[in-house]
Amino acid sequence: MRTLSRRAEAFRPPRFPFGDMTLTLTLRTAFSRARSLVLVGLLPLLTGGWTSGPQSTFETHGPVAKTQLDVFYVTLWVSVILFVLVAAVLAYATLRFRVRSGDLSNQPPPEQSHGNPLIEIGLIVLSIGALVIIAVPTMRAIWYTYDVPEAERANAYEVTATGYQWWFKFEYPQEQIEGSGALVTGNELVIPAGRPVRVNLRTVDVIHSFWVPKLAGKVDMMPNRGNHLWLKADEPGYFWGQCAEFCGESHAVMRFRVIALSEADFAAWLAQQKSPARTVPGTQIGATPAAGTPRVEFASYKYEKQRPNSPGWSEGFDRAPFAAWQQKQQVDAGEKPELIAQGRKLFIEKKCAGCHEVRGHEGAGISGPNLTRIGARTTIAGGLLENTEQNLHRWLTEPNNVKPGNKMWFGGYVVRNSETGAWEEQFSINDDEARSLVAYLHSLK
């Protein structure tokens, strides 16, 4: 269990859900796996390590998720107590009244009793009582989690999240940009920490669901419906989110991130975002790269083509994702202006611009994610892959192998022949082209 021990460093020590008892798994990986298989009866005890992770609903970082967790604990406690009581009686009855001898034919049967109304009614009343205990906090939480509380409404920030097959668009209606409407980003939602955020939920195709477990439970993005949710991050941080409604082939890899920034950082980020796409000095369209550029060596290029979806994570990134995000905001050292210029040219030639917007540059499409600041994102392809050179390179050369069914491949790289119905290649990206495109995209900070 490599992950277990590794994660023990990466995250807070796993917490045992039934109390304050902390149970850190220090056992050797293989040993622990073998044990958990043998000691089935003790599974719950061994599962302390299973309540912690990037999408754990136990590690809440905001009042909405906290409220929901509290309700969960109430239901959990009531259930556990009732279960222990009833199961104990059941176990007692089973053991106590068991007959060991197989043959009962000459034994008189037990008394043929038919019931006892008093016990029945007593138990019914008891059950109702238990349910009331659950119902009261449930009702309170339903109203609390529904919308930003009245008192905080003035302070609330508003964003609109829109689901696409299979990525998320985020709009900032409060941040209007001269000439191009509201600020738009994709797949990574940046919010102010400590402020309630109301997220309007929309979709352009099928039903998706917006779920950031550590901040708030999910609410669906329903076509022709104006759903919304609210959340608040207590502290700045980096949070995992995922689409939680089956939405077709790549539902499993429709992920996103939420980054909460302190008030000052957020303001700075907004200011940066509102400016047009970054242009690296000396990269005019048309400039050709110096001949004979050496092939980029990918030190850790470990993907084989036949693997449709390979690991999208690296340990270094996981250890400090927020720091990695902040790092990403900085301009990369060693930018190659010629390569970038070539990439920018290719971006138009290869029809990328028809689907993607790079505000201030040539792109104007809206059917794909906005790429104005793609270089500053920690992830690509709907939160699936870490935004590294290798991953982006791979995404551009063979998107179909990264994300099954994605609409950049189907409808972009390949299009359907309206007569035969077969998919035919429209364009492809070779390694050299990909390298310059990667350079260009990574220059967009």
Partner 1 sequence: MQAITKSDFIGKDTAAAEKRPFVFTRPTAKTGLVSWLTTVDHKRVGLLYGVSSLIFFLVGGFEALLIRIQLAVPNNTFLSAQTYNELFTMHATTMIFLAVMPLSAAFFNYIMPLQIGARDVAFPRLNGFAFWVFLAGAIILNVGWFVKSGAPDVGWFGYAPLTSTAYSNQFATDMSTDLWVMGLQILGVSSVVGSLNFIVTIINMRAPGMTMMRLPVFTWMTLITAFLIVLSFPAITIALIALMMDRSFGTSFFEVSNGGLPILWQHLFWIFGHPEVYILILPAMGIISEILPTFSRKPLFGYPIIVFSGAVIGLLGFGVWSHHMFTTGMGTMATAAFSIATMAIAVPTGVKIFNWIGTLWNGQLQMRTPMMFALGFVWMFMMGGFSGIMHSAAPADAQQQDSYFVVAHFHYVLIGGSIFALLAGIHYWFPLIFGRKVSEAWGKFSFWAIFVGFNVTFFPMHFLGLNGMPRRTFTYDGNMGWNSANFIASVGAMILGIGMAVYFVVMLYTYFKGEKVGRDPWGARTLEWSIPNPPPEYNFAVIPTVHARDAFWYEKNHRDEIEREKAKSAAEEESHGGIHMPSQSWFPLLAAMALLTGGLFFTNHNFMGAIAGGVVLFIAVYLWAWEGPGGYHLHLDKDGNPIEPKDGQAHH
Partner 2 sequence: MSALAATSSHDSHGHEHDQSKFHIFVQVAMLLAVITGIEIVAIYLPLPHWVVLGVLSLLSLVKFMFVIFIFMHLKWDKLLCTILFFIGLVLATGTVTALYFLFSVGDSKPVGPAYDAAALQTVSTMISSA
Contact pick of 82, 121, 267, 323 for ligand HEA (by CB under 6 A): 82
Contact pick of 30, 42, 76, 86 for ligand HEA (by CB under 6 A): 86
Determine the size of the site formed for ligand HEA (CB under 6 A).
5
CB of 123 to ligand HEA, least distance (A): 8
Ranges of H-type helices in 103-210: 117-146
CB of 280 to partner 1, least distance (A): 33
Distance CA 370, CA 366 (A): 7
Please report, as ranges, the residues that interact with ligand HEC according to CB under 6 A.
166-167, 186-187, 347, 350-352, 354-356, 367-369, 371, 374, 377, 380-382, 396, 403, 406-408, 411-412, 429, 437, 441
Contact pick of 183, 189, 216, 233 for partner 1 (by CB under 8 A): 216
Contact pick of 179, 226, 286, 421 for partner 2 (by CB under 8 A): 226
For residues 159 and 192, the answer to whether their CB atoms sit within 8 Å is no
Contact pick of 15, 61, 63, 68 for partner 1 (by CB under 8 A): 68
Asked if 21 touches partner 1 (CB under 8 A), the answer is: no
CB of 179 to partner 2, least distance (A): 23
225 contact choice in ligand HEA, ligand HEC, partner 2, none (CB below 5 to 8 Å, kind-dependent): partner 2
Please report, as ranges, the residues that interact with ligand CUA according to CB under 6 A.
163, 166, 208, 243, 245-247, 251, 254
Contact pick of 175, 205, 332, 398 for partner 1 (by CB under 8 A): 205
Contact pick of 9, 24, 30, 44 for partner 1 (by CB under 8 A): 44
Residues 29-68 that bind ligand HEA (CB under 6 A): none
125-164 footprint of ligand HEA as x/- string (CB under 6 A) = --x--xx---------------------------------
Q: How far are the Cα atoms of 165, 167, 248, 305, 427 from residue 252, in angstroms, in the given order?
A: 11, 11, 9, 20, 27
247 contact choice in ligand HEA, ligand HEC, ligand CUA, none (CB below 5 to 8 Å, kind-dependent): ligand CUA
Q: Which residues pair with 220 in a beta bridge?
A: 209
Distance CA 218, CA 237 (A): 19
Distance CA 273, CA 284 (A): 22
For residues 235 and 215, the answer to whether their CB atoms sit within 8 Å is no
CB of 51 to partner 1, least distance (A): 6
Q: How far are the Cα atoms of 53, 79, 125, 134, 137 from residue 131, in angstroms, in the given order?
A: 31, 10, 10, 5, 11
Residues 255-284 that bind partner 1 (CB under 8 A): none
Contact pick of 106, 300, 306, 418 for partner 1 (by CB under 8 A): 306
Q: Give DSSP secondary structure letters for 255-279.
A: EEEEEEE-HHHHHHHHHHHHSPPP-
Q: Please list, in sequence order, all residues whose beta carbon lies within 8 angstroms of the beta carbon of residue 409, skipping any fewer than 6 positions away.
A: 399, 400, 403
CB of 131 to ligand HEA, least distance (A): 5
Tokens at residue 69, please?
Answer: 């967790």
Distance CA 265, CA 56 (A): 26
Asked if 12 touches partner 2 (CB under 8 A), the answer is: no
Cis before 211? omega within 30:
no
Considering only the stretches 20-28, 124-132, 138-146, 212-220, report the one whose residues sit in contact with ligand HEA under the rule CB under 6 A.
124-132
Q: Which amino acid is at 344?
A: R
Distance CA 122, CA 127 (A): 9
Three-class SS of residue 172? strand
CB of 153 to partner 2, least distance (A): 17
Distance CA 317, CA 210 (A): 23
Asked if 224 touches partner 2 (CB under 8 A), the answer is: yes
Write out the residues near ligand HEA by the rule CB under 6 A: 82, 86, 127, 130-131
